[in-house]
Structure 1
Amino acid sequence: MLYEGVLRKMQTQNGKPIQYFLVFENDFINMNQVLDKELQIDFIKFQCLNCGEDKPIYRQGFCRNCFFETPTAGEWIMKPELSTAHLDKEDRDLEFEKRMQLQPHIVYLANSSNVKVGVTRKSQVPTRWIDQGAHEALEIVEVPNRYLAGITEVALKEFVSDKTSWQKMLKNDIEDVDLLEWREKLKASIPDEVADYFLKDQEETHLDFPVLQYPEKVKSLNLDKTPSYKGLLKGIKGQYLIFEDNTVFNVRGSEGYYVGIDVNPK
């Protein structure tokens, strides 16, 4: 069966296992239902997620012009400590930035390859952890805006990483860590203005990914270099599709690529 459309990050529903959906404008694929089936992915054209034009994707699904203009790609998204809406100060679009920044945010610990610290809007729990391929996560601080979450992350990453080793995550090469123990270790390093927002009673969240076979080595599929690929789908973790031949495809990293996907191609 043939599907066609522009790639966006897969939508998810937490469960045992997590359910993944690849959603196009007029159709969708429940990716769990095509596990152990052959998929063919063909790159057709670009479609910028902002302007919709067929221009090479620069970053985050946007063409170069849109990446530097759209408020949905502001630097504060990747660096929450640069948020300024709480000061009534505009970056690109103050109304949008207030909606995004002035809402409850979570600082968390997660384990997808090793313990890491991160920030997400409260409304994105546990979606953010699923997207990162974390098999366990723990909320440690809940604050009323993105700036406070950002400065907390900056303080804590002096002691724990803020990065995930995506290769180790995909191979399921995971360090055995105690997130509750790490929470207590890091408590004293939380900035003074955030100390009252510390969450001392949260329990770990455990996540179950639909993977039949983990890759022994990781070969990343790049549609610019390999515009047509065929393989047997063996797993889904984070925002990656995992194939039997050790190829992995980062769906989120390919946002803005318009593709055809054929399930069980002839």
Structure 2
Amino acid sequence: MTYQGVLTKMRTEFLSPIQYYLVFENDFLNINQLLNRTIDIQFVKYQCLNCGQDKPIYRQGFDKQCFYEVPQAADWIMRPELSTAHLGKEDRDLEYEKAMQLQPHIVYLANSSNVKVGVTRKSQVPTRWIDQGAHEAIEIVEVPNRYLAGITEVALKDYVSDKTNWRKMLKNDIEDENLVEWRERLAAYIPEETKAYYIESNKETNLDFPVEQYPEKPKSLNIIKSQRYSGKLVGVKGQYLIFEDNTVFNIRANEGLVVDITVS
């Protein structure tokens, strides 16, 4: 059977194992049900997630013009400390920025390739951890807006990484860490503005990914360059499809591409 649609971030359910869904306009695929089956992916065209035009995707599923115009791609998305909605100051669209920034946010530790610090809206826990391929995570601070989360993350980045090594994450070349001890060690470095929001007593969350075979040497699939790929699906972790021949396909990095997916 063949499905066609524009790629967007896979939706997930926090179960054991995590359930993954690829959602198109008129259909969806439960990716877990496709394990050990051959998947054929063929590039069809571009479709910008904002304007819908067939224009080359620049970043985050948007063509270049839209990327520099839409509020969903503003700098504060990647750098929360740049948030200004709490000051009533507009970046690209104040109403959107208020809706996104002026809600509870979590500063967390996640262990995917190593222990890292990150920020997400409270409503996105544990989805954010799933998307990063973290096998364990814990909340450190819960604050009322994105700016406070951002300045906390900046302060903690001097003592813990804020990056994930995607190859190491996919190879499952990781060690379990005591995230409660990490949280307690980092508490001393939380800035004064957010010390009152420190979470003193909680447990780490463990995540179980549907992977039957981890790649020894992950090879990232460039579907635009290759146009077509076929392989046996053996796992899903983060936002990556993992195939038997060590090929991995990052769905999120390919948002805005229209593809045909054939399952046999």
**Length-normalised TM-score, structure 2:** 0.99
**Percent identity for Structure 1 against Structure 2:** 72
Give 2:96's aligned residue: 96
Alignment partners' CA distance in 2, 1:225 and 1:160: 36
Give 2:187's aligned residue: 187
SS in 1 for 2:21: strand
Alignment partners' CA distance in 1, 2:160 and 2:227: 38
Write the mapping of 1:22-171 to structure 2, written as runs, cut at 5 A.
22-171=22-171
Unmatched segments (≥5 aa) in structure 2 = none
Give 1:256's aligned residue: 256
CA deviation vs aligned residue, 1:15-34 (integer Å, no higher than 9, x gap): 01000000000000000000
**CA drift at 1:175:** 2.7
CA deviation vs aligned residue, 1:145-180 (integer Å, no higher than 9, x gap): 000000000000000000000000000000332111
Matched, 1:224 2:224: yes
Alignment partners' CA distance in 1, 2:217 and 2:178: 27
Give 1:199's aligned residue: 199
Alignment partners' CA distance in 1, 2:95 and 2:9: 25
Alignment partners' CA distance in 1, 2:12 and 2:166: 19
**CA drift at 1:224:** 1.9
SS in 1 for 2:147: helix
**Counterpart amino acid of 2:215?**
P
SS in 1 for 2:223: coil
**CA drift at 1:194:** 0.1
| Structure 1 segments (4+ residues) deviating >2 Å | none
Alignment partners' CA distance in 2, 1:9 and 1:227: 20
Alignment partners' CA distance in 2, 1:187 and 1:102: 24
Alignment partners' CA distance in 1, 2:151 and 2:71: 21
**Counterpart amino acid of 1:143?**
V
SS in 2 for 1:224: helix
Alignment partners' CA distance in 1, 2:225 and 2:65: 23
Alignment partners' CA distance in 1, 2:171 and 2:210: 13
CA deviation vs aligned residue, 1:72-125 (integer Å, no higher than 9, x gap): 111000000000000000000000000000000000000001000000000000
**CA drift at 1:8:** 0.1
**Counterpart amino acid of 2:258?**
Y
**Counterpart amino acid of 1:202?**
N
**CA drift at 1:55:** 0.2
**Length-normalised TM-score, structure 1:** 0.99
Give 2:238's aligned residue: 238
Alignment partners' CA distance in 2, 1:204 and 1:218: 28
RMSD between superposed Cα atoms in Å: 0.5
